[in-house]
Amino acid sequence: MGREGVARCGKKMDFHLHFKIPGGELLRIGLEVHVQLPTRSKLFCPCPTNALEPNSSICPTCLGFPGSRPVLNRKALEMAVSIARFLQCRISPQVWFSRKTYFYPDLPKHFQITQYDSPIGTDGLFPVEGKNIGIWRVHLEEDPGRIKRVGKAGEEVSLIDYNRSGIPLVEIVTAPDLSSPDEARRFLAELMVELKHMIGTSGDDEQSIRADANISVGEERVEIKNIQGLRNLERALRFEAGRQQKLLEAGMKVMRETRRYDEERKVTVSAREKEFEEDYGYIGEPDLGVYDLTSLLNALPEVETPLRRAQRISTVYMVDYDKARQMVLTSMALADLFEEMAKRVHPEMAMNWTLGPISNSWPQILPRINEQVTRDIMETVKLVADRSITDSEGRRRIAAIAAGECPEDISCAIQDEVLESFISDYLDKHPQIIKDYSSNPKAANAVIGHVMKLAKGKYSSQEIVDAVVKEINKRKG
Partner 1 sequence: MSHSMSLSELQALNQRYQAFTELSNDFTCLQDLSNRTHFSAKDNLCALGFQARAGSKILEGYRPPFDATAVRRMKEEGAILIGKTNMDEFGFGTFSTNSAYGIPRNPFDESRSCGGSSGGAAAAACLLPGHVSLGVSTGGSISCPACFCGVIGLTPTYGRVSRYGLIDYANSLDKIGLLVREAASLQRWLPVISGRDSNDPTSCAQPPLTLSGRGIESVAIPREALNHLDPDVHRTFNKALASLIGEHGIRIEEVSMPSLRYALSAYYVLATSEASTNLARYCGMRFGVRNPDITKHFNEFFAETRSAYFGTEAKRRILLGTYARMVGFRERYYMKALAVRQLIISEYQRIFHDFDAVLTPTMPFLAPKLDDVKKMRPLEVYQADFLTVPPNLAGLPHISLPCGYIQSLPVGMQLVAPHWEERVLLDAARKWTSTFTLKFPEVSF
Give yes or no for residue 10 binding partner 1 (CB under 8 A): no
What minimum distance in Å lies between the beta carbon of 110 and partner 1? 3
Q: CB of 282: closest distance to partner 1 in angstroms?
A: 7
Tell me whether residue 1 or residue 63 sits nearer to partner 1 (CB atom): 63
Phi, psi angles (nearest 5°) of residue 395: -60, -45
Residue 108 interacting with partner 1 (CB under 8 A): yes
Single out the residue of 60, 203, 363, 457 in contact with partner 1 (rule: CB under 8 A). 60
Helices 181-199 and 306-316 pack at an angle, to 10 degrees, of: 100
Q: Is 110 in the site for partner 1 (CB under 8 A)?
A: yes
| Among the residue ranges 12-20, 100-108, 214-222, 237-245, the one whose residues contact partner 1 (CB under 8 A) | 100-108
Query: Does 67 help bind partner 1 (rule: CB under 8 A)?
Result: yes
In whole angstroms, the minimum distance from the beta carbon of 68 to partner 1 comes to: 8
Q: How far is the CB of 255 from partner 1 (least distance, A)?
A: 22
Contacts of 313 (CB under 8 A, 6+ apart): 319, 324, 327, 328, 335, 338, 339
Check residue 54 for interaction with partner 1 (CB under 8 A).
no
Q: Where does residue 88 fall: left (phi above 0), alpha (psi -120 to 50 degrees), or beta otherwise?
A: left
Q: Which is nearer to partner 1, 285 or 393 (CB)?
A: 285
Residue 99 in the binding site for partner 1 (CB under 8 A): yes
356 counts as binding partner 1 under rule CB under 8 A: no
DSSP letter for each residue of 74-120: HHHHHHHHHHHHHTTPEEPSEE--EEEE---TT-TTSEEEE-SS--S
Residue window 250-289: x/- pattern of binding to partner 1, with contact defined by CB under 8 A: ---------------------------x-x-xxxx-xxxx
64 binds partner 1 (CB under 8 A): yes
Q: Cα(177)–Cα(417) distance, rounded to whole angstroms?
A: 63
The amino acid present at 446, given as its one-letter code, is A
Examine residue 71 and tell whether it contacts partner 1 (CB under 8 A): yes
Cβ distance to partner 1 smaller for residue 66 or 367: 66
How far apart are the C-alpha atoms of 151 and 451, rounded to whole Å?
A: 68
72 lies in the site for partner 1, by CB under 8 A:
yes
Shortest approach of partner 1 to residue 114 CB, angstroms? 13
Residue 103 in contact with partner 1, rule: CB under 8 A: yes
* # residues contacting partner 1 (CB under 8 A): 30
Is 151 a binding residue for partner 1 by CB under 8 A? The answer is no
The size of the chain, in residues, is: 477
What is the residue-wise DSSP string for 228-239? ESHHHHHHHHHH
Nearest to 144 by CA among 107, 169, 114, 181: 107
Query: Cβ of 299: how many Cβ atoms within 10 Å?
Result: 8
Q: For partner 1, give the closer residue by CB, 165 or 232.
A: 165
Binding partner 1 by CB under 8 A: which of 3, 18, 40, 69?
Answer: 69
Tell me if 87 sits within 8 A of 121, measured CB to CB: yes
Q: Which member of 34, 109, 196, 238 binds partner 1 (CB under 8 A)?
A: 109
**Of the candidates 19, 86, 111, 239, which one interacts with partner 1 according to CB under 8 A?**
111
Give every CB contact of residue 50 below 8 A, 6+ residues apart in sequence.
40, 57
Distance CA 4, CA 234 (A): 20
Q: Which is nearer to partner 1, 157 or 414 (CB)?
A: 157
3-state secondary structure (DSSP) of residue 135 = strand
8 Å CB contact between 53 and 272: no
Among 24, 66, 251, 301, binds partner 1 (CB under 8 A): 66
Total Cβ atoms within 10 A of residue 151: 10
Interface residue with partner 1, options 1, 6, 21, 63 (CB under 8 A): 63
* 37 secondary structure, DSSP code: -
The answer to the question of residue 65 lying near partner 1 (CB under 8 A) is yes
Identity of residue 231: R
3-state SS assignment for residue 169: strand
Contact residues: partner 1, CB under 8 A: 60, 63-72, 99, 101, 103-105, 108-111, 277, 279, 281-284, 286-289
